[in-house]
Amino acid sequence: MLLGVNIDHVATLRQARGTRFPSPIEAALVAETSGADLITLHLREDRRHIQDHDVDAMRATIKTRMNLEMALTDEMLANALRVKPEDVCLVPEKREEVTTEGGLDVIRYFDEVREFTRQLTEAGIRVSIFIDPDVKQIQAAWDAGARVIELHTGAYAHADFQHAAQQAELARIREAAVFGDHLGMVVNAGHGLNYHNVTPIAAIQEIAELNIGHALVSHALMVGFASAVREMKALMIEGRQGL
């Protein structure tokens, strides 16, 4: 199982004071040497954390793979076609939200998703769609041309202290992963995963990759970035192996 380290909130801390540190680039390099398989970052329309220069510097520096999260806007499409990351993940975005609140409604925005997917794919960029664990949405993503999905695990994560609700969400994620895998899609997952809830998600064999950011960056404040990445990867391996 692959670990994508989302470094957005390193930039959040930097932007709080408008300085040049901490450096998202440095964090990405430490993550790579500590077991990260790819680096995920979200260039938001309001530039609240990651900046354009971060994306350019990251593209030129990292040695693994860049997974660029972006909204369905012409500006972001043009930027992705210029930067040409290995992966683009299409996500919903509202300026007033604290973080991404749900999966992209592919059914509602089907034409836009299909066109973005076509242009990005033709440019040699692998397209993923951040999506709720819903079979109808997954089918729509497939029909729009996407061959990779990232299942939104937020509802599962937010049910941390409600065992029955969490188990129901886990079953929903498992069903969605099986469905996507059956279609022939690469199934990834992320959002709200932390050191206490990641193992059951990692145990789902159909999920190939987890993207984790806030919990990892928060833990890094206490133990250091390298240790935080290594600990998370170890938990994922434990879950995959059923230990």
| H or E segment to which residue 218 belongs | helix 214-223
Q: How many Å apart are CA 94 and CA 96, to the nearest integer? A: 6
Cα angle for residues 144, 185, 42 (degrees, 5° grid) = 70
Residue 8 φ/ψ, nearest 5 degrees = -50, -45
Nearest to 5 by CA among 87, 80, 65: 65
Q: How many Å apart are CA 71 and CA 73, to the nearest integer? A: 6
191, 206, 209, 219: the catalytic one is: 191
9, 42, 152, 219: the catalytic one is: 42
9, 49, 69, 209: the catalytic one is: 69
Which residues neighbour 103 within 8 Å (Cβ) at sequence distance 6 or greater?
92, 129, 130, 131, 132, 134, 137, 151, 152
Active site residue 69: yes
Residues marked as catalytic? 42, 69, 191
